[in-house]
Amino acid sequence: MTELLKAVEYRKETLIQQLISFGIYKKESHQLYELTLSEIELEYRKQIRMKQLKGER
């Protein structure tokens, strides 16, 4: 596996674990593991914004 692919997979896994800790397991009808890194990052940023708006950490 190339270093870039390893880095992408690590980033993806890290964000998936964060989303799971927020109670997010799916996006629409797709499991998180089925999404691209870009889709996962978008969902993660969306969840962070929602938490900030609610005043959570």
Per-residue pLDDT of the chain (57 residues; tens, 9 = 90+): 799 999 999 999 999 999 999 999 999 999 999 999 999 999 999 999 998 898 876
Q: In the chain, how many domains are there?
A: 1
Checking 15-19 for CB contacts under 8 A at 24+ apart, the result is 15/40, 15/41, 15/44, 16/40, 18/44, 19/43, 19/44, 19/47
Q: Tell me the one-letter amino acid at 37.
A: L
Residue 23: what pLDDT? 93
Q: Any bridge partners for residue 31, and if so which?
A: 26
Asked if 9 and 35 count as a contact pair (C-beta separation under 8 A), the reply is no
Residue 21: what pLDDT? 95
Q: Give the DSSP H/E element, type plus range, for residue 14.
A: helix 3-21
Query: Which domain covers residue 20, as residue numbers?
Result: 3-54
